[in-house]
Amino acid sequence: MTPSIDRYAVFGQPIQHSKSPRIHQLFAQQTGQLLTYVAQEVPPEQFIEVTTTFFAEGGKGLNCTVPLKELAWAYAEHKTERAQLSKAVNTLVLQANGSILGDNTDGYGLVTDLTFNHGVNLHHANILILGAGGASRGIIAPLLAQNPAAMLIANRTPEKAVQLAREFNRPNQLSGCGFADLAQQHFDIIINATSASLSGQLPPLPANVLVDQGICYDLAYANQATPFVNWGFANGALKSLDGLGMLVEQAAEAFYIWRHQRPNSQAVIALLNAERNLCGVGK
């Protein structure tokens, strides 16, 4: 009898440009595992039905991306602590007892890319997070776990930043404000978690908000430098990175959760970076 091939997928809308199938096939090749991983367009109103069918038909694990992460969070019968805190799930796992576990590997992906791949020390750093939506929520707890000196969330709608900071209940370490409040403030690391890059825009940032030789990181990525990555270079950043490394690292963590083997994520990042042939980005 031929062994059945374990099935995985990423659901989202839109999904056609997703790099996840490629990344997971590369991981499977590296680790000598037999599996399939496909991208499927799933509108939010069909999420529950399609997901239930996927697992009922033997699917082993799912990634969920925009705009399904909150729905996946609600769907998961059990959640890891980091998923619970982020109120969003990007990885669903079929467990041995048939129940579905929800995890969120996004924050892990960001922290691993920053610290391990790029040697950025978050410990005692002053960190500014731009944006107070779902993407920000997913990275806050893993960043706080690195024990930065302080983190500030700045958002176009200031009340949302204040509210998000409050939820984590670390008033001495985490607070929220509007962009106008950033004047005269300086940060070692600025992380862009707004969706501004997706529409080619840039949050309004005052001059000198990044310390000399600071670090910029845009959660978004593209085949060209994003506006925020360019802003970082123009404002004296030592490194101004986009989110390709985070994408691969969150995938590597999902792969590990599903397959109990760690793939060589750096080799995959190097390959994808070479393919998009960026000048400046990822250096």
Q: Which residues make up the interface to ligand ATR (CB under 6 A)?
A: 131-135, 155-157, 160, 194-196, 201, 203
79 in catalytic set: no
Angle between helices 265-276 and 20-31 (to 10 degrees): 140
In angstroms, give the least distance from the CB of 224 to ligand ATR: 18
In angstroms, give the least distance from the CB of 166 to ligand ATR: 15
Q: How far is CA 176 from CA 162, 181, 182, 188, in A?
A: 4, 10, 11, 17
Helix locations, the chain, DSSP H: 20-31, 47-56, 69-75, 81-86, 106-112, 134-144, 158-167, 227-234, 244-259, 265-276
SS (H, E, C) 6-69: EEEEEEECCCCCCCHHHHHHHHHHHHCCCEEEEEEECCHHHHHHHHHHHHHCCCCEEEECCCCH
In angstroms, give the least distance from the CB of 132 to ligand ATR: 5
Q: Rounded CA gap, 84 and 87, in Å?
A: 5
Q: What are phi and psi of 279, to 5 degrees?
A: -100, 115
Closer by beta carbon to ligand ATR, 58 or else 204: 204
- For the chain, report the end-to-end CA distance as a whole number of angstroms: 49
Q: In what order do the strands lie in the sheet with 150-155?
A: 174-178, 150-155, 126-130, 187-192, 210-218, 239-241
Closer by beta carbon to ligand ATR, 220 or else 268: 220
Closer by beta carbon to ligand ATR, 94 or else 229: 229
In angstroms, give the least distance from the CB of 273 to ligand ATR: 23
Closer by beta carbon to ligand ATR, 6 or else 106: 106
In angstroms, give the least distance from the CB of 164 to ligand ATR: 9
Q: Rounded CA gap, 36 and 22, in Å?
A: 11
Closer by beta carbon to ligand ATR, 174 or else 268: 174
Nearest-CB residue for ligand ATR: 133
In angstroms, give the least distance from the CB of 184 to ligand ATR: 20
Closer by beta carbon to ligand ATR, 59 or else 133: 133
Active-site hit among 69, 79, 160, 283 = 69
Q: Rounded CA gap, 70 and 72, in Å?
A: 5
Q: Residues with Cβ < 8 Å from 113, sequence gap 6 or more? A: 241, 245, 246, 248, 249
Active site amino acids: 69
